[in-house]
Amino acid sequence: MTYVSSPGPSGPPNPSPGASGLRETGPCAAGPFLSLHTALVLLAAIVIGLIVAILTFLSGTPAAGAALGGLLSTGAGIPVLRTLIG
């Protein structure tokens, strides 16, 4: 995080200076890391993958097979959810 000193009283007014008179510049000023749409799609895909993995495991499949099924359903669900939620 980089801090830049605000201009003095003779300079242009700073709309929201911090308590120390410094404004923040850096990665936070660029925007969020993930958009709300991307976060929602990934969260929904992970939840679906977990449900598939749990149900597959409860049906008698070994844990490795259930985990693989959950991962595959997560990966396959992302493009579908992206179109549905988009």
For the whole model, what pTM was predicted? 0.64
**Higher pLDDT, residue 58 or 11:** 58
The domain segmentation of the chain, as residue ranges, is 1-31, 36-85
CA distances from 72 to 11, 53, 58, 84 (A): 58, 10, 17, 19
* 50, 71 Cβ separation under 8 angstroms: no
**pLDDT per residue as tens digits for the range 15-53:** 555 556 666 666 556 888 999 999 999 999 999 999 999
Core vs surface per residue 33-58: b (16+ CB within 10 A) or e: eeeeeeeebbebbeebbeebbeebbe
Read off the DSSP letter of residue 13.
P
Provide the 8-state DSSP code for 84: H
With bands split at pLDDT 50, 70 and 90, how would you rate the model's confidence at 66?
A: very high
